[in-house]
Structure 1
Amino acid sequence: MTEDRPVSLPKNRIFSGAQPSGSMHLGNYLGAFRNWAKLQDDYECIYCVVDLHAITVWQDPQELIRQTREAAAAYIASGVDPKRSVLFNQSQVAAHGELAWVFNCVARIGWLNRMTQFKDKAGKNREKASAGLFVYPNLMAADILAYKASHVPVGEDQKQHLELTRDIAMKFNNDYGREVFPLVEPVIQKEGARIMSLRDGSKKMSKSDPSDASRLNLTDDADSIARKIRKAKTDPHPLPDSVADLAERPEANNLLGIYAALSDQSLEKTLAEFGGTDFAPFKKALVDLAVAKLSPITQEMSRLMNDPAEIDAILSEGADRAAALALPVMEEVRETVGFLGRRAR
């Protein structure tokens, strides 16, 4: 057992990331990217395009490269500033994979068996799922703890993974008798954090949905945004007057929630503005608002995607900064575990 010593922690360091698989969409923007930009005012922020996570299911290599650049462009267009924050893609920093292996040896199979996201993604083909998909939460823990992040912005569907990260940190510290890792805290964004499908208000808006009409992609032009909102599923009744009336009306709840989030106002205020009206005039107002808010993002993403060298340079510089932050953490981990390192000559 190694000698105990105080843990060295940044007090306000954020880590977060998104997979570069499928199109970045409104749910990503309202649930994550926009909030990441705001967090830059109060935290030291590390934002990652998690391409190692993406290959837990098969990806076309050339498409993965394109989607990695698109994800980075979406972050930047949404307000993430590569000069204020560290922005990189995961596979460029070896610490993620190395620490994930250590955590594979710390986490228990029983813990991973309880992960609901694996059950959802593997479905009935559990035995055919990749081992990477099964140990995905250990890599997520490594992403966070390689930088000793103090906070992680998470949606409700990621809270279980964050709890596992805390369990892994606690077990590592207990096993080796040294407080190496912090117990990271969640930053849960409530407003606009869960955007549902435009075709089914009971399902989350998802890049994996086979119907492109189910989501507003951040690359959609104004005509596509208008068409998708006009065709969004509704019910035959006028818009409700109160939040209580939304419980049994998922499509109305979703569209009103999107309007409230895009306009930075409460759902109650949105209901006061549109309650009792038909969907048609409300959808027109939503189209105007969505186009006004999303068009600048689409345009900036297009500019960046037309200059891949700029994106690659940003990610490379960010990877150098991330690797420098992870280096002392990994040196501490190697010493703690008992890995023999190279001696200076």
Structure 2
Amino acid sequence: MTKARLYSGMQPSADSLQIGNYIGALMQWRDLQESYDAFFSVVDLHAITQPNDPSELREKTRRTAAQYIAAGIEPAKSTLYVQSHVSAHAELAWILGTLTGFGEAGRMTQFKDKSQRYGQDATSVGLFTYPVLMAADILLYQTAVVPVGDDQKQHIELTRVLAERFNSRFGDTFRVPMPVIQQDTARIYDLQNPLAKMSKSAESDAGVLWLLDDPSASAKKIMRAVTDSEGSVRYDREAKPGVSNLLVIYAALSGRQIPAIEDEYAGRGYGDFKKGLAEVLVSEFEPVRARALELLDDPAELDRVLGANADHAAEVAETTLSDVYDRMGLLRRR
């Protein structure tokens, strides 16, 4: 029986992924690759919508791919590749851009937020058309499901609209994908500001847990995480955001339910709770970090694996792109 196809990806925007990427994406991907024909991309074309140092971008791309593999994304099971290695992504993005209304693209919340923050002159056309490239990423592979955070839900809806619009005008071409939205409890917040989502672009490093950090450094961050003065280990996102955030991390990494963790630490205070969480985190991250660094020690082999996977991705993508060109009436080179 043919498996349904899945697509997702992350930007190479930092030297290391953080625990929110691990829990919110990589752990989910690792499970989903067993049930789907999974395509996972390091979306470097998306990354250049912001200024980048070329040598740093190249290194971050390798480091992101290495962390995918170290976290359990297996190139033998999934198609793991670099977005720019498959030219069909950029080609289909142009085609879909001709079907996207200016106002439609301008209503995308992330674009509006960033353009208001940085100003129009500092906001690129690439950032404006980012959701169209994302739609191309997904539609190229006749994707059935797209695991994303709830902040990307609007972009998936635009993808669905563009697929249906193309199908209506030019004939049935694209599969209309469905989003798989992570649960709210999977969102990880900054350890020092538990009201803000943990981010690779956080102003302070103190609240971010990096996959490639030395485990002892991560343990210290856990011990210094903001809690409250109550002293009881219980989940209450409104009244106890710091403790609740740590409980979510503990539950996700240990595979346990939050009520069971609350029972274990009832009456024991935050010191014991944080120590237990630090031990769980180090146990989870240590092998991931070691494997990622091992892969990065042999960049030629890592590049070979990514290249072989890109060949397969390109083969699938070109089939879709060829259909798109034919149905739009573009004259193909003979």
TM interval, short-chain normalised: over 0.9
Report deviation, 1:266: 1.8
Q: Report matched runs for 1:83-232 at 5 Å.
A: 83-128=76-121, 129-176=123-170, 178-190=171-183, 193-232=186-225
Distance in 2 (CA, whole Å) between partners of 1:275 and 1:109 is 55
Secondary structure in structure 1 of the residue aligned to 2:206? helix
Q: Residue 19 in 1 paired to residue 11 in 2?
A: yes
Report deviation, 1:185: 0.8
Distance 1:240 1:27, change over 3 A: same
**Count of aligned positions:** 331
Distance in 1 (CA, whole Å) between partners of 2:299 and 2:203 is 27
Pairing partner for 2:47 from 24, 48, 54:
54
**1:6-48 deviation line (CA, Å, top 9, x unaligned):** xxxx761000000001131111000001111111110000000
Report deviation, 1:236: 1.2
Q: Is the 8 A contact 2:233 2:269 kept in 1?
A: no
Q: Report matched runs for 1:331-342 at 5 Å.
A: 331-342=322-333
Distance in 1 (CA, whole Å) between partners of 2:247 and 2:225 is 12
**1:76-100 deviation line (CA, Å, top 9, x unaligned):** 0010000111011000100000000
| Moved beyond 3 Å, runs of 4+ | none
Q: Is the 8 A contact 2:79 2:313 kept in 1?
A: yes
Unaligned runs of at least 5 residues, structure 2: none
**1:179-215 deviation line (CA, Å, top 9, x unaligned):** 1111101122327521111111111110001211121
Q: Is the 8 A contact 2:191 2:207 kept in 1?
A: yes
Unaligned runs of at least 5 residues, structure 1: 1-9
Q: Which amino acid aligns with 1:31?
A: G
Report deviation, 1:310: 1.5
Distance 1:109 1:24, change over 3 A: same
Report deviation, 1:240: 4.3
Distance 1:191 1:42, change over 3 A: farther
Q: Report matched runs for 1:195-274 at 5 Å.
A: 195-241=188-234, 243=235, 245-274=236-265
Secondary structure in structure 2 of the residue aligned to 1:47? strand
TM norm structure 2: 0.96
Q: Is the 8 A contact 1:30 1:192 kept in 2?
A: no
**1:196-240 deviation line (CA, Å, top 9, x unaligned):** 111111111100012111211110112111111111111111124
Distance in 2 (CA, whole Å) between partners of 1:111 and 1:26 is 33
Q: Which amino acid aligns with 1:229?
A: I
Residue number in structure 2 paired with 1:328: 319
Identity of aligned residues (%): 46
Residue number in structure 2 paired with 1:43: 36
Residue number in structure 1 paired with 2:74: 81
Secondary structure in structure 2 of the residue aligned to 1:79? coil
Distance 1:192 1:309, change over 3 A: farther
Residue number in structure 2 paired with 1:72: 65
Distance in 2 (CA, whole Å) between partners of 1:288 and 1:254 is 16
Q: Is the 8 A contact 2:6 2:145 kept in 1?
A: yes
Distance in 1 (CA, whole Å) between partners of 2:230 and 2:245 is 15
Distance in 1 (CA, whole Å) between partners of 2:3 and 2:287 is 34
Distance in 2 (CA, whole Å) between partners of 1:186 and 1:78 is 22
